[in-house]
Amino acid sequence: MEFEWDASKEADNLRKHRVSFAEAVESFFDPHGLLLVDEKHSGAEERFYWVGKSASGRVLTTRFTRRGTKRRIIGSAEWREFRRLYSEKAKHP
C-alpha cells in the first residue's frame, strides 16, 4: 500500500487531533480494521473511513480517498462512535 498526504493538512491534524498521518498509516495494517464509505463527503471523488489500531494501540478513524494506486489521507482522529463500532466487530467477527 502506498500513501500520500498534504504536509500542511497533516500539521493541522496533528495540532487538532494529536495524530500524525504516519501513525494513521500504521492503522491500515490492522487485520481487524473496518473499511466504510463516507457517503456524506463523497462527491466528485469517493471517500472512505478506515478504522483500525495503530502500533501504539489507539483506535484511529482515518478519512481518505484513492488516487490511482495510492491512498490520500485527508484526516485522522480518535472518534468514539467508530471506536465502539470497532470494538463490537472485534467481539463478534
CATH number, domain at 8?
A: 3.10.450.530
Query: What number is the average pLDDT over the span 1-6?
Result: 96
H/E element, 53: strand 47-53
How many structural domains are present in the chain? 1
User: Average model confidence (pLDDT) for the chain?
Assistant: 92
Kindly indicate the confidence band of residue 2, based on its pLDDT and cuts at 50, 70 and 90.
Answer: very high
Burial of 20 (0-12, 13-18, 19+ CB in 10 A): middle
Amino acid at 81: E
Residue 82 sits in which domain range? 2-91
For residue 53 the three cell numbers come to 489500531
Is the confidence at residue 93, as pLDDT, over 60? Answer: no
Per-residue confidence (pLDDT) for residue 42, from 0 to 100: 64
